[in-house]
Amino acid sequence: TQLLEQSPQFLSIQEGENLTVYCNSSSVFSSLQWYRQEPGEGPVLLVTVVTGGEVKKLKRLTFQFGDARKDSSLHITAAQPGDTGLYLCAGNSGTYKYIFGTGTRLKVLA
């Protein structure tokens, strides 16, 4: 069974701080996605990474796919209250089925 573990589970930081969220598995994925979910809404896709070692940037967010395509990280620089939410990674093995991670709940305090 493929599993995606995210760490930390919860993170509360002050505005302006940097943070990194991790998504780890013992399985290899052909692609990995990161989503953000706000209360009362469904997850919204932030990025898809498909190549081992790939780095993608989205404004203050930097996403990296591990060389072995078993793990990924999300780094946020100078966090803002608007970054608050539940961050989910989702791995895919080339089919339609996505395995979602356990989630990291981020709260950024003003």
Partner 1 sequence: GAGVSQSPSNKVTEKGKDVELRCDPISGHTALYWYRQSLGQGLEFLIYFQGNSAPDKSGLPSDRFSAERTGGSVSTLTIQRTQQEDSAVYLCASSVGLAGVDEQYFGPGTRLTVT
Q: Does 22 interact with partner 1 (rule: CB under 8 A)?
A: no
What is the C-alpha to C-alpha distance for residues 72 and 66, in angstroms, rounded to an integer? 5
Residue found under tokens 């981020």? 106
Size of the site for partner 1 (CB under 8 A): 28
What is the C-alpha to C-alpha distance for residues 97 and 104, in angstroms, rounded to an integer? 21
Cβ atoms within 10 Å of 109's Cβ, excluding its own: 11
Q: Among 1, 59, 97, 110, which residue interacts with partner 1 (rule: CB under 8 A)?
A: 97
Q: Where are the alpha helices (DSSP H) in the chain?
A: none
Q: Among 14, 59, 82, 96, which residue interacts with partner 1 (rule: CB under 8 A)?
A: 96
Q: Does 40 interact with partner 1 (rule: CB under 8 A)?
A: yes
What is the C-alpha to C-alpha distance for residues 41 and 47, in angstroms, rounded to an integer? 18
Q: Among 19, 24, 50, 73, which residue interacts with partner 1 (rule: CB under 8 A)?
A: 50
Q: Does 26 interact with partner 1 (rule: CB under 8 A)?
A: no
Binding site for partner 1 (CB under 8 A): 4, 6, 30-31, 40-45, 48, 50, 86, 88, 90, 92-103, 105
